[in-house]
Amino acid sequence: MPITINNPLDMHLHLRDADMLKTVAPLSSESFSGAIIMPNLVPPVSTKEDVIAYKKRILNASEHPNFTPYMTLFFKPTYSKEFLESVKDEVTAIKLYPAGITTNSEGGVSGFDVEELRPTLEAMSELNIPLCIHGETNGFVMDREAEFVSIYEMLATNFPNLKIIMEHITTKASVEALDRFKNLYATITLHHLMITLDDVAGGMLQPHLFCKPIAKRPEDREALRKVALKAHPKVMFGSDSAPHPQHAKESCGCAAGVFTAPIALQVLTELFMEHSNIENLQAFVSENAKRIYTNIEVPNKTITLEKKPFTVPNSYGEVVPMYAGETLNYTITAIQ
């Protein structure tokens, strides 16, 4: 029986720029209605002009109709209320990176001094601009996200009207934090629903599964699956699809990021079917995001999937996707 998904949304996506943008934008714009676009270009997207120009480049590269890039700015504690007011209509959210924690995040925040952050975060809260956070400390790699939970709590308490999205959560600790604060929400990736650290480093090292935050323990994946499969109202799908050229992944010093955009809906469908939760997929990939991000308009797109084998290409341009060369059980058979 065919499965349909209406208006799928990817609430955390890296599209990059230039040739890479031309390779990946058509893939997301084909099967998604919209996506939150990460600002970690070099240099990062941090002015109104940057946002407008980048959005135009994305739309030019997209090739498919009915796809809206929801733009973000790279958080800086120096953003004034006047600046935020002037840029508000162009951005859907602002993305905060701890300095140096992941790809192209060098200009991010260090120290998390609440008084230093207060003017910008209060202005965002008044203007209703959600704050997306890459929640990792610079502690031991497996503990970074759990250690960051106290910072999420500090921010959620100090700015109770600010919508805070815990991006790409990977731990039971983050899942548990969701229900403790009314203003905390989360995105969950495909790869963190599918793999654990064992898949990355338990046998021969798998560079195409290496990402930040690193995949964690089976019990963490279980906690993520539990909330995703029941489409907990505070979680949304955000692929964190993060393309890097093959030579940057298969190298001494592997770049962090898993490329999943072209396989995400197929794999999610299989996961939700396997667990007899297919009725919740629509909420996980669309309805929850529309409710959480009250500032987005979503173009119409209907994706039909059927249980037919789909062999994942070995590469898209110079990017190797997750499950390259493997055969998935669901195929997209129509897009309207």
Residue 143 Cβ, how far from ligand NCD at the closest point, in Å? Answer: 17
Residue 229 Cβ, how far from Zn ion at the closest point, in Å? Answer: 22
Residues between 28 and 57 with contacts to ligand NCD, criterion CB under 6 A: 40
Residue 81 Cβ, how far from ligand NCD at the closest point, in Å? Answer: 27
Q: By rule CB under 6 A, what string of x and - marks binding of each residue 192-221 to ligand NCD?
A: -------------------xx---------
Residues between 240 and 269 with contacts to ligand NCD, criterion CB under 6 A: 240, 242, 256-257
Looking at the Cβ atoms of 145 and 240, the one nearer to ligand NCD is: 240
Q: Give yes or no for residue 69 binding ligand NCD (CB under 6 A).
A: no
Task: Using DSSP bridges, classify how beta strands 34-37 and 68-74 pair: parallel, antiparallel or unpaired.
Answer: parallel
# of chain residues touching Zn ion (CB under 5 A): 1
Residue 155 Cβ, how far from ligand NCD at the closest point, in Å? Answer: 18
Residues between 1 and 20 with contacts to ligand NCD, criterion CB under 6 A: 14
Pick the piece of the chain touching Zn ion (CB under 5 A) from 18-26, 141-149, 232-240, 268-276.
232-240
Burial profile 110-130: b = 16 or more Cβ within 10 angstroms, e = fewer? eeeeeeebeebbebbbeeebb
Helix (H, G, I), strand (E, B) or coil at 175: helix
# of chain residues touching ligand NCD (CB under 6 A): 11
DSSP annotation of 217? -
Contact 121, 80 (CB under 8 A): no
Rounded to 5°, angle at Cα 220 from 199 and 311: 40
Distances from the Cα of 182 to the Cαs of 61, 121, 160, 185, in angstroms?
Answer: 38, 17, 8, 8
The amino acid occupying position 119 is P
Phi and psi dihedrals of 181, rounded to 5?
-130, 130
Distance of alpha carbon 242 from alpha carbon 258, whole angstroms: 5
Phi and psi dihedrals of 139, rounded to 5?
-80, -160
Active-site residue, 19 included = no
Q: Give yes or no for residue 103 binding ligand NCD (CB under 6 A).
A: yes
Looking at the Cβ atoms of 36 and 175, the one nearer to ligand NCD is: 36
Catalytic residue numbers read 240
Residues of this chain that bind Zn ion (CB under 5 A): 240
Residues of this chain that bind ligand NCD (CB under 6 A): 14, 40, 102-103, 134, 211-212, 240, 242, 256-257
